[in-house]
Amino acid sequence: MFILFGVFLLTFLIIISIAIIRVKSLFSAVMLSGIFSLLMAANFFILDAADVALTEAAIGAGITTVLFLAALALTRETEQRETHSRVPLLVLAIAAAPIIFATFDKPRLGDPNAPVHQHVAPWYLEKTPELIGIPNVVTAVLGSFRGYDTLGEVFVIFTAGIGVLFVFGVHQRKAAISGGELAQQARGIRHHLIPRIIGKIFIPVILLFALYVQFHGEYGPGGGFQAGAIFAAGLILYSLLEGVDKALQKFPPKVLPWFVASGALLYALVGFVCLALGGNFLDYSVLHSNPVVGQHIGLILIEIGVGVTVFGVMLSIFLAFAARESK
Q: Is residue 79 one of the residues assigned to a domain?
A: no
Q: Is residue 206 part of a domain?
A: yes
29-41, pLDDT tens digit by residue?
A: 888 898 998 888 8
CA-nearest of 55, 223, 226 to 140 is 223
Q: Is the dihedral of CA 308, 185, 29, 207 positive or negative?
A: positive
The amino acid at 211: L
Domains contained in the chain, number = 1
Domain of residue 301, residue span: 122-171+180-326
| Model pLDDT for residues 262-284, shown as the tens digit of each residue | 999 999 999 999 999 998 999 99
Q: Is 316 a member of any domain?
A: yes
**Confidence category of residue 22, pLDDT binned at 50, 70, 90:** confident
- The residue that leads in pLDDT, 311 or 217, is 311
Q: What is the pLDDT of residues 156-174, one digit of tens each?
A: 988 888 888 777 765 555 4
Q: Which long-range contacts (CB under 8 A, 24 or more apart) does 139-143 make?
A: 139/217, 139/218, 139/223, 139/299, 139/303, 140/299, 142/223, 143/223, 143/298, 143/299, 143/302, 143/303
With beta carbons less than 8 A apart as the criterion, state whether 221 and 51 touch: yes
| 277: in domain | yes
What's residue 268's pLDDT? 93
Quickly count: other Cβ atoms within 10 Å of residue 200's Cβ: 12
317 contacts 234 by C-beta, under 8 angstroms: no
Give the ranges where the chain is alpha helix by DSSP (H).
2-22, 26-46, 50-55, 64-72, 87-103, 120-127, 137-140, 147-168, 173-176, 179-187, 193-215, 224-242, 244-250, 256-276, 291-322
325: Cβ contacts below 8 Å, ≥ 6 apart: 74, 176, 177, 181
What's the whole-number average pLDDT of the chain? Answer: 82
DSSP codes of every residue in 141-157: IIIIITHHHHHHHHHHH
Residue 82 located in a structural domain? no
DSSP bridge pairs for 78: 25
Helical packing angle, 291-322 and 147-168, nearest 10°: 20
Q: What's the whole-model pTM score? A: 0.79
pLDDT at position 99 over 50: yes
Average pLDDT over residues 312-319: 86
At 118, give phi and psi (nearest 5°): -105, -25
State the helix-helix crossing angle for 224-242 and 193-215, rounded to 10 degrees.
160
For the beta carbon of residue 144, count every other beta carbon within 10 angstroms: 21
9 belongs to a structural domain: no
Region of 243 (left: φ > 0; alpha: ψ -120 to 50; beta: rest) is: left
> Which of 17-26, 163-172, 224-233, 295-304 is the most confident on average?
295-304
70 within some domain: no
* 188 is a domain residue: yes
Cβ-based neighbour number of residue 196 at 10 Å: 15
* C-alpha to C-alpha distance for 299 and 138, rounded to whole angstroms: 12
Instruction: Read off the pLDDT of each residue in 15-25 and give the average, rounded to a whole number.
Output: 87
